[in-house]
Structures are given as C-alpha cells and as structure tokens.
Structure 1
Amino acid sequence: MTAAPHHSRRPGGPDDLYRTPPPWDIGRPQGAFRALAESGAIQGRVLDAGCGTGEHVLMCAALGLDATGIDLASAALQRAEEKARERERTARFLRRDAREVAELAESFDTVLDCGLFHIFDAQDRAAYVAGLGTVLRPGGRYFLLCFSDRQPAGNWPWVHRVSQADITSAFADGWHIDSIEPATIDITTDPDGIRAWFAAMTRI
C-alpha cells in the first residue's frame, strides 16, 4: 500500500491530517456504512465520532435523520459545513474530543465510528468507550470500521492495528457484540484499500 508521505509519520495535531486531502477522505461514504444506511440499521439521533469532512453525517442527514458529527480537526469541520451548505443538508458539526464525548450531555440512538477507534492507545480507548456508554441509549447501536491486524503497518505506523480480541476486550462491560466481520476501508491511494474490521455493538 502506498500513502501520501505525510501520513507515514505521526501527525503533530488533528489539523495536520487535513493540510492536504488525506487518503481516507474519499468524497463519499465508506461502503460498509452505505450498506448500513440502505438496510435501515442507522436510526434515530446519530452521532459520528471523528466525522472528518462529514460524509457519513451528511449521508444520515439525507435520510432525514438528526445527525451530529464531532472531530478535533477544525479544517475538516469547516469543509463538512461547506458540504452541508452545498448539498442543502441540515447537520450539526462540533469541535469536540471524542474521548470526552460524555460532556455533550446528550443521548443518541446510533453512533458511527470510521477510523477513530484505531488511533487510540489502551488508556484513550477506555476513556472513549466509557464516554460512548453515557451518550448511547440502552438498546442503541455502535458501528465501528477500523484498521485490522491483518493489515501490514506499512506507511501507517501511528495507527494501531486492531485485533478482534482488542474489540471484544474494549466492549466487554455493558455491551453486546453483535458481529465482527472482515471489511475494507477505501482510500484514494490504493485501489485495494485497507484491511479492516467492521463491528456492530448494542448498548445493554
């Protein structure tokens, strides 16, 4: 897999990821999430944690759902808001740290995560999952698309390659793991994409 050179080293901050278009910013929803939307699995109030430039938030808004995206990259959020205006979609974008998502003090029915979970180390991952447990209502669903441990590190050394065991361990308390399936994250720099896991969890 090849990637833009600046993605071969750990970024200095969230906005560093968007100084040039990052490989995962493909201008459309990832296939796994598009299939979810088509199946009707995304329901109610939706939160996209680490929304980037907003493709999944805007996909949900197009379905008539109340959709919110959070991210720490101001440049990405600015572009997401521009897209919302261009497409005449009503959506909310907030600059928030997903590890502190509980501070939103809101309740959601669905949470989407495309490429956020795998950037966290064990400590940050625990804080993130704990926060998710406060904002996702009982019976609500969390959908995760993340780097798989089947993917060679290559030019992405700052991304944690996640195993199925990592996922089951992180969501051991207060969650039902509905499924963990092999998937692909589409990127602009490799037609084969990135090997990934697509997991679905229900908040107990």
Structure 2
Amino acid sequence: MDSFDEAYRGEPPWDIGGAQPVVRELEKWGRIGPTVLDVGCGTGENVLYLAERGYEAWGIDLAPRAIHKARSKAVERKLDAVFLEGDALELARLGRRFDTVLDCGMFHTLEDVERRRFAESLDAAVRPGGSYYLLCFSEEEPGMAGPRRVTQQEIFGVFDRPGWLVREIVPTRFESRMHEGGAHAWFATIEREGRVGRSLSFERVCAPDAPRFVRT
C-alpha cells in the first residue's frame, strides 16, 4: 500500500483525469445498477462520473492520499459520493451490497492468493443478480513495466465459482498517461447468480480480430 500511497503525492499514470472509457460505455448502455462501488477507486474519477449522473456511487481504496483527493474533488464539484479508505479484500466490512462493482486496475495488482480472497470478498459486496466488471492489463501488453499481466484463463480460473458466471471477456484498452492509445487489456463481465438477460457486448471498445471468451 505504501508504494501506491506515495504515487499519489503526484499524478500516477493511471490517473487520467476522467472516467475510463469502458465505464462510460457501461453507463451509456444502461449496464450499471443504481448502486455502484468502485474498488481501487484512486482519486475517484469513475465514482464522480457516475455520481454526476445520479447513481449512488461509492469508492474504496487503500491509499489515504487517493481518498483525500477523491473527497476534495467531490466537494469542489458539489457531488454526493462516498469515499472510504479500506481494503478490497475485506468488503464485508462495508456492511452492504451493491448492484454493480467496478474494478479498473485493482485486480492486476494482486498476488495469486489475494485474487482468491478478493473473489470471496465480492460475495459480501455484490447483490444477487448484480455484476462485477473487471478491467485489467492483458498478456498482450509488451514489456515488463507496470502491473502484472493477466490472461483470460486466469480470470476464468479465479471467478468461475459457485454462484457466479463469467459471462464475457473481451479485449480492450486501459487508458493511461504512459500508454499512447491505451495499454492492452481485458474487460470481463462477471455476474452473480440471479441476473436475467444477456450482457452487453463491448465491440465498440474492443480491439478487432483479438481472441475473446463469450459464454452464452
């Protein structure tokens, strides 16, 4: 946590000054429920984007400086949003569940054992019928700098568990100030048991001709 908190002394490369494009697409197509939690929310841009559009939007992050900046932004923009300093591996401590949980860059920072703990933590945070949306660096991103790369198989291996359905994993881009055009990424739609209907296809934000996993 200390290294991430130190990063917020300045402007970390993942802080792009606005919501991630996939979050905008989710909202545009009505795939976000009335209550939403952003895990690893950083300085809160995804949360504030949704709060401005009438959602009950919460954010949680381990980095105190990130939460301080997020709260300051909410005050400056006169938006009603909740920002909490806390651990995404212990979401039960929030004492409530959400229709939607967003993760734009938190999962790919976790070690293997932490990934399992996080998946279990989601049980306490996502309502039956709700969704968890994951955006993470993919193995297609070259070089070694930045977070761990994640494969489709790893996503499926962590989240294919009782009560959950990995509906779709599609290639997209993770916007970053260090990656012109964005870093290669996966976007996964993971549903908690109880959802009715099919999930949105993200062809608008996906790289063409890339492999994808879709469960029908």
TM-score, reference length from structure 1:
0.90
Structure 1 distance, partners of 2:96, 2:65, is 25
Secondary structure of 2:124's aligned partner: helix
Residue matched to 2:122: 132
Aligned-pair distance for 1:153?
A: 3.6
Aligned-pair distance for 1:148?
A: 0.3
TM-score, reference length from structure 2:
0.85
Q: Give the alignment partner of residue 194 of structure 1, picking from 183, 192, 201.
A: 183
Judge conservation of contact 1:121–1:160 (CA < 8 Å) in 2. no
Counterpart of 1:178, as a letter, is: R
Deviations 1:16-41 (A, max 9, x none): 22122111100011111111111111
Deviations 1:62-104 (A, max 9, x none): 1211111000111111111111111111000000010111221
Residue matched to 1:145: 135
Structure 2 residue ranges without an equivalent (≥5): 194-216
Structure 2 distance, partners of 1:53, 1:80, is 4
Structure 1 distance, partners of 2:49, 2:150, is 26
Structure with bigger RCO (C-alpha 8 Å, 6+ apart): 1
Root mean square deviation, CA, Å: 1.2
Structure 1 residue ranges without an equivalent (≥5): 1-10
Q: How does 1:89-108 map to 2 (within 5 A)?
A: 89-108=79-98
Counterpart of 1:142, as a letter, is: Y
Judge conservation of contact 1:68–1:91 (CA < 8 Å) in 2. yes
Structure 1 distance, partners of 2:57, 2:103, is 13
Secondary structure of 1:13's aligned partner: helix
How many residue pairs get matched?
192
Q: Give the alignment partner of residue 58 of structure 1, picking from 48, 56, 72.
A: 48
Secondary structure of 1:123's aligned partner: helix
Aligned-pair distance for 1:12?
A: 4.4
Q: Give the alignment partner of residue 7 of structure 2, picking from 17, 31, 36.
A: 17
Structure 1 distance, partners of 2:173, 2:85, is 27
Judge conservation of contact 2:2–2:63 (CA < 8 Å) in 1. no
Q: Which runs of 4+ in 1 moved over 3 A?
A: none
